[in-house]
Amino acid sequence: MTPRAPVIDARFGPRVKFDEPMSRHTSWHVGGPADVFFTPSDRTDLLTFLEGLPAGTPLFWLGLGSNLLVRDGGIRGVVIDTTGLDRLESIDDTHLYAEAGVPCARIARRCIGLQLGPAEFFAGIPGCLGGALFMNAGAFGGETWPRVRAVDVCDARGRERRRDAREFSWSYRRVVPPVPGEFFLGAVLEFERRPGLTDEGLREMIARRKETQPIGEWSCGSTFTNPPGNHAAKLIESAGLKGTRIGDVMVSPKHANFLVNVDAASAADVERLVALIQQEVKRKYDVDLTPEFRTVGESA
């Protein structure tokens, strides 16, 4: 245990790890250690854990680790692994309840089984619902927040409440909460009845994704948001940057808006390549590319 780690109640036992390498928990497979890494067994376990933490303990909430770059120095404080929050259930004919750790692809499959839509786009989001709520993630022309009707949140002390979706403002890959410092526990999602819906459309989307994106390789998903009226991949490719490599991170030859870890990349490698891409696209096209992923932690 590092000296910076808060004291953790022994009752949480094996669900708590100290100095846990974040490279084991991010889709880029990079990142230094977290002081404390906690995987709650369910929501009650999580809220009890939060209630017992020293006031002011830094918290970072993690799903599947996509759209995330953890720097090589790691994360101070406590990382909350939300994958144990995996409840997904029907409320009525058009509403579902999903907890933050439910993979978005699972929501898409459940909706097809229930003849609900539009939900196929969730299959193109490589993460959990919590992350999708945080950044209004989307794919194939669909976005998360148009489906949201209410969210359950908690604060750093483990106090839970429900908020109406109308309390939040959102836009492309951006969500502004009414109160800073609250974390998503789950959401009520509304869809429409789609009798006769099959999984053909979903299978087509997945097949198209496999053909055009480096699925199965270590990446964060899309690296940059699309500038208004343009596409980040098109700009990067036109700048001649496909295949460009720094250390062990490379611009994918398959899709220029994906950076892949080909072996043992560091977060510093990723940041240098991101900066190079931004510099070249700005120089050639006077367009500022904005990272779609979130960067957290300390430099080594």
Give the CA angle between residues 213, 83, 130 to the nearest 5°: 70
Residue 24 CA to residue 105 CA, distance in Å, equals 21
Q: Is the dihedral of CA 88, 23, 180, 59 positive or negative?
A: positive
Residue 60 CA to residue 83 CA, distance in Å, equals 14
Q: Under a CB-based contact definition with an 8 Å cutoff, are residues 35 and 77 in contact?
A: yes
* Structure tokens, 264: 């043992």
Reply yes or no on whether 173 is catalytic.
yes
Give the Cβ contact number of residue 70 at 10 Å: 28
Give the residues across from 153 on adjacent strands.
161, 184
Query: Of 87, 106, 173, 272, which residue is the catalytic one?
Result: 173
Residue 263 CA to residue 245 CA, distance in Å, equals 12
Q: Are strands 174-176 and 169-171 parallel, antiparallel or unpaired?
A: antiparallel
Coil, strand or helix: which one is 250?
strand
Query: Of 222, 252, 266, 271, which residue is the catalytic one?
Result: 222
In one letter, which amino acid is 104? C
Q: Is 132 exposed, middle or buried (0-12, 13-18, 19+ CB in 10 A)?
A: buried
Residue 142 CA to residue 138 CA, distance in Å, equals 5
Question: Which stretches does DSSP call E strand in 75-125?
Answer: 75-81, 88-90, 95-99, 116-117
Reply yes or no on whether 292 is catalytic.
yes
Residues recognised as catalytic: 173, 222, 292
